[in-house]
Chain A
Amino acid sequence: MPLLEIRNLVVRYGEIEALRGVTCAVEQGQVVTLLGANGAGKSTTLRAISGLAKPTSGEILFDGKSIAGLGPEAIVRMGISHVPEGRRVFPGLTVKENIMLGASNRRAATSEISREADAMFDLFPDIRKFTNALGWTLSGGQLQMVAVARGLMAKPRLLLLDEPSLGLAPVIVQAVFKIISEIRRNTTVLLVEQNARMGLSVADYGYVLETGRIVLGGKPDELWGNEAIRAAYLGGHAKASA
């Protein structure tokens, strides 16, 4: 049984049908990436899983239990942590406070949470020196690190990452993906990426979304091998296959 299974998921925003029957699965221990152009429905898929968007129809099964229609607070308590697009680090709280609040989905003493937050800096050494800096003072790459660290504090069984490379310099993107490849040792990851090359470089499996539907799924090398697909959906260049 897959850890996460989505069947015929439909999400409407008013008149607009953002997802028109998405079906996909994430196996325990895998990194699965959702690829596609802007507006294809990648973020909406994650928002439906984490409870921010209410599914119009279809099923979302986490560990065999239906979670479609539950609120975000209930879903994160079940073990799905969503690091949304735009990092959403609280601007008026410090880095440490932001990270500590990531544990709000579980019961633990404040001192224990504080210790765990300090330990997070071992995984993210670049932000250690900003421990007491307010969120709004950080750069995009630093914010992304804080957002991922905060997401991990939930001790999730499934981590949803939305566009972690968006707006970051290439060297920072490399650093973020290095962290993702470390996270995958203990956590299942569903990764949304516009940067197909980066997404597939860490993934075990990839899906391609187009206007609210999954049009293709496969292992990274299969997706790369398909010339037409690569040109149409992945925005890949000849260099990438080298």
Chain B
Amino acid sequence: MDLALQLLFTGIGIGAVYALVALGFVLIFRATNVVNFAQGEFSMVAAYLMVVAVEAGLPYWAAFIVALLGMALLGVVFNLGVYYPLRHRSYLPVIIATIGASILLANSVLAIYGPQPQVLEGWFETPGIQVGPVYLDSQYLLIIGVTICLVIFNFWFFEKTLLGKKLQATSQDKEMASLLGISVSTMIMITFIYSAVLGGLAGILVAPVLFVSIQMGSTIALKAFAATIIGGFGDVAGAIIGGLALGLIETFGAAYISVPYKDGFAFLVLIAFLIFRPQGIFGERVAEKA
């Protein structure tokens, strides 16, 4: 029982990281109908930015802000360089462009920083606290706390603000949005910036738990992608639930069944969903009406 509680905490912590990256996937998918295969690289680049900023002697919080501003800038550049020139083409050239961008980002970092994994300290000096039978690692607490705040922010932003409604309108019908005077290119720019910052946050938060490496992006992205499918592709709540579910599945699977097959459990569940419930937990809730 104590072990289960401990695993629950760790599983939710790692699941929260997947949820943040999955949210980035979903938001870009809804706005552009394209899966951004460089979403994981956003996390990796942000982690490296953080390492660079901390090594440059900035205080941790300042490095955090610098890294996130860097990610916002990357979102702008990514939109202008990868999506915008191809926006009137079919989805295929755009998807290939995002794959190209992900290779470019990974290899640029490799060229600049070399192949050795880096270590990033956590935000807090204290490694964690013991609450009854459960040891709460401070970095996992931070991850969970930030994710909860972001989920609330996300809900408020998309459901309660006019800008959020304009973003939703753009993702549902771009031509109609433009007829109403909504600047579609601005809405898509905002989406890319937001998604890059979300992915970046995930990378920065998880970096002290994992190593900062070139491969961390693709590992996180694969899990997050699986999370979006489990939750129901294109569904915001589904991405969050799917991410948490995946974190729990792999944590419990590793503890009770097999550690080497940890990553395998996530993909086993993914395959099961693709076969038996391809629309995911939440499915398509918005029905098209003729």
Residues of A within 8 A of B (CB): 50, 52, 71-73, 76-77, 81-82, 84, 88, 90-93, 97, 100-102, 104-106, 110, 113, 134, 136, 138, 150, 154
- Shortest beta-carbon distance from A155 to chain B in Å: 11
Question: Are A136 and B179 interface neighbours, CB within 8 A?
Answer: no
* Given contacts A76-B181, A136-B287, A88 and B162 within 8 Å (CB-CB): no
- Shortest beta-carbon distance from A12 to chain B in Å: 17
Interface membership of B118, Cβ < 8 A: no
Question: Are A90 and B173 interface neighbours, CB within 8 A?
Answer: yes
Q: Which residues of A contact B286 (CB under 8 A)?
A: 91-92, 134, 136
Interface membership of B89, Cβ < 8 A: no
Interface membership of B176, Cβ < 8 A: yes
Interface size on B, residues (CB 8 A): 21
Which of B162, B172, B179 is within 8 Å of A76, CB to CB?
A: B179
* Given contacts A90-B173, A110-B162, A105 and B181 within 8 Å (CB-CB): yes
Bound complex: CA A134 to CA B178 (Å): 21
Bound complex: CA A30 to CA B169 (Å): 32
Most A C-beta atoms less than 10 A away, residue of B169, B176, B179, B182: B179
Question: Are B179 and A92 interface neighbours, CB within 8 A?
Answer: no
Q: Which residues of A contact B178 (CB under 8 A)?
A: 52, 71-73
Question: Are A101 and B166 interface neighbours, CB within 8 A?
Answer: yes
Bound complex: CA A30 to CA B168 (Å): 35
Question: Are A90 and B168 interface neighbours, CB within 8 A?
Answer: yes
- Shortest beta-carbon distance from B133 to chain A in Å: 44
Question: Are B288 and A73 interface neighbours, CB within 8 A?
Answer: no
Q: Which residues of A contact B179 (CB under 8 A)?
A: 50, 52, 72, 76, 81-82, 84, 88
Q: List 28 A-B contacts (CB under 8 A).
A: A50-B179, A52-B175, A52-B179, A72-B175, A72-B178, A72-B181, A73-B181, A77-B181, A84-B176, A88-B173, A88-B176, A90-B168, A91-B289, A92-B172, A93-B169, A93-B172, A97-B165, A100-B162, A100-B165, A101-B166, A101-B180, A101-B182, A104-B180, A105-B180, A134-B286, A136-B289, A154-B180, A154-B181
Measured CB to CB, the nearest residue on chain B to A83 is B179
Interface membership of B183, Cβ < 8 A: yes
Measured CB to CB, the nearest residue on chain B to A106 is B181
Bound complex: CA A50 to CA B259 (Å): 61
**Which chain B residues numbered 148 to 167 have a C-beta less than 8 Å away from chain A?**
162, 165-166
Question: Are B181 and A90 interface neighbours, CB within 8 A?
Answer: no
Residues of B within 8 A of A (CB): 162, 165-166, 168-169, 172-173, 175-184, 286-289
Question: Are A93 and B289 interface neighbours, CB within 8 A?
Answer: no
Question: Are B288 and A136 interface neighbours, CB within 8 A?
Answer: yes
Bound complex: CA A77 to CA B182 (Å): 10
Measured CB to CB, the nearest residue on chain A to B182 is A104
Q: Which residues of A contact B287 (CB under 8 A)?
A: 91, 136
- Shortest beta-carbon distance from B88 to chain A in Å: 12
- Shortest beta-carbon distance from B93 to chain A in Å: 19
Q: Which residues of B contact A136 (CB under 8 A)?
A: 286-289
Bound complex: CA A84 to CA B173 (Å): 12
- Shortest beta-carbon distance from B46 to chain A in Å: 30
- Shortest beta-carbon distance from B227 to chain A in Å: 21
Q: Which residues of B contact A77 (CB under 8 A)?
A: 181
- Shortest beta-carbon distance from A54 to chain B in Å: 12
Bound complex: CA A81 to CA B180 (Å): 7
Q: Which residues of B contact A91 (CB under 8 A)?
A: 172, 286-289
Q: A52-B175, A73-B182 are in contact. List 18 more A-B contacts (CB 8 A).
A: A52-B178, A73-B178, A73-B184, A76-B179, A81-B179, A84-B175, A84-B176, A88-B173, A90-B168, A90-B176, A91-B286, A92-B168, A93-B165, A93-B172, A100-B162, A104-B181, A104-B182, A105-B180
